[in-house]
Amino acid sequence: MAGTDPRESVHKRPHTMGRVPNVTRADAQAALRNPLAFIAARWTPDPRTVRRAALAALVMSVVIVVTGGAVRLTGSGLGCPTWPKCTDDSLTTTSEMGLHGVIEFGNRLLTYVLCAAVGWAIIAARSQKPYRRSLTLLGWAQFWVVMGNAILGGIVVLVGLNPYTVAAHFLLSSALIAVATVMWQRTREGDAEPRPLVGKAVQQLVWFLVAASVLLIAVGTVVTGAGPHAGDSSEVPRMPLDWETVSKLHAVLAWIVVTLTFALWFVLKAVDAPASPLDRTRELFLILLAQGAIGYVQYFTDLPEVLVGLHMFGSCVMWIWVLRVLLSLRERPEEMAPGAAAAPVAQEPATSASIAAPR
């Protein structure tokens, strides 16, 4: 433009980078008092980020079970003979302890990775807008279960791999998987009141399935406690039970779970249930068939370590899908803001009394 000094126009160019805010002493004190609130006030994660954080915590809760099984199956349960240190004189494994020490100490280190994943899930849930208290509480529940199981894992070492404490250690890990699964599911839902998709009879059948699955997992820990894989190369006491008898009881419970799952799928098809519970039930049935095949093969091949490890992984996947079937029986839409008018919902005539809500 005529009459304009080009140097002046250069000086008047807008800044392309925003100013980095100074962190005041008050900010630092607020961060120390409540770091989660401090982060939440400055960061709003995308809903997909919250879902990924919850999924990461769930994946790590399964990984820690599998690596714990590797410790037992390689006879490394006492690779670090004490706790919380690896030896009386060293926090970490030493070269004299060999491969067993590396495996056991590596599994202990993975606990920190699990804590980081759970911590990320807590921070993401706490920072989400609007704030969802129930989601944050599920994250904290995982944290305390992890802390409790870490202490129980130390007790397992201090009592020389007592089979009852080993069984409790696995059951608490299953509880962690349950909480992580619920949190992952809740990140994909709203906070409105749950609306059932099936009737009371179907819900009761699923609760029977959940109870049978819990019993199946519990008896599985007894099979392990009475079996040959004690977790260490030295003499470790076993549960004073006949392994063959307990294994057969475990197989009977497995068939009960399979039968309940097939019956549930048949009922859902008969009442024309929504796609979600049908899909989850079909997936669970296929998982159970694969898990049963692994179980029978390992039984008739004298429990090779690789198949036992796969069976432990399959147990975790089965438990997650049992819970997914349970959670698929209802839907939770986004919570309506106060004063907002709800959109009219066209009601479908139910094809059976077992359908309790529109799809």
Sign of CA dihedral 283, 304, 96, 82: positive
Give the 3-state secondary structure of residue 213.
helix
Compare 19 and 283 and report the one with higher pLDDT.
Answer: 283
130 preceded by a cis bond (ω within 30 of 0):
yes
Give the 3-state secondary structure of residue 336.
coil
- Residue 68, classified by CB atoms within 10 Å of its CB into exposed (0-12), middle (13-18) or buried (19+), is buried
pLDDT for the residue 343: 44
Residue 121 pLDDT > 50 = yes
Q: What average pLDDT score do residues 23-36 get?
A: 68
pLDDT band at 16 (very low <50, low <70, confident <90, very high): very low
pLDDT for the residue 36: 85
Greatest distance between any 2 Cα atoms in the chain: 101
**Cβ atoms within 10 Å of 3's Cβ, excluding its own:** 4
Residue 314 pLDDT > 70 = yes
Q: Which of 120, 110, 103, 99 has the alpha carbon at shortest distance from 62?
A: 110
pLDDT band at 128 (very low <50, low <70, confident <90, very high): very high
Highest mean pLDDT among 12-21, 34-43, 172-181, 300-309 belongs to 172-181
Residue carrying structure tokens 């839907």: 331
